[in-house]
Amino acid sequence: MSFVSYFPGRGTVRETAYLEGKTEGRAEGEAKGILSVLEVRGIPVTDRVRERITSCTDLDRMDTWLERSRTVERAEDLFDEEGNADKPIA
């Protein structure tokens, strides 16, 4: 007999742990993508910037940083909420 695992209710411990793990995994993948783009473009990344990217769990913010990583001139510019945020991303 096989075991089928499902989440019968909202907010169960098992469901919460699963969803948190899924979000953490996606955040790790986003961080690797951002750092990879910066590396391929030859943009140096300080330890401080690397820490900020890898410790972030806000997926919307990380999506924004990933888009910005394609056009920024310095890694620190990823976090510029005023200057680069208003520029259209090609």
Instruction: Inform me whether the pLDDT recorded for 47 exceeds 80.
Output: yes
Looking at the domain assignment, is residue 35 inside a domain?
yes
Residue 88 lies in a domain: no
Residue 25 reports pLDDT greater than 70: no
Q: Which domain holds residue 18?
A: 13-76
Classify residue 23: in a domain, yes or no. yes
Structural domain total, the chain: 1
Res. 82 pLDDT band, cuts 50 70 90: very low
Contact between 54 and 29 under an 8 Å Cβ cutoff? The reply is: no
C-alpha–C-alpha distance, residues 75 and 47, integer Å: 11
Q: Is residue 2 part of a domain?
A: no
Distance of alpha carbon 31 from alpha carbon 53, whole angstroms = 6
Span 1-30, average pLDDT = 63
Please give the mean pLDDT across all residues of the chain: 78
pLDDT in tens, 8-19: 556 666 665 655
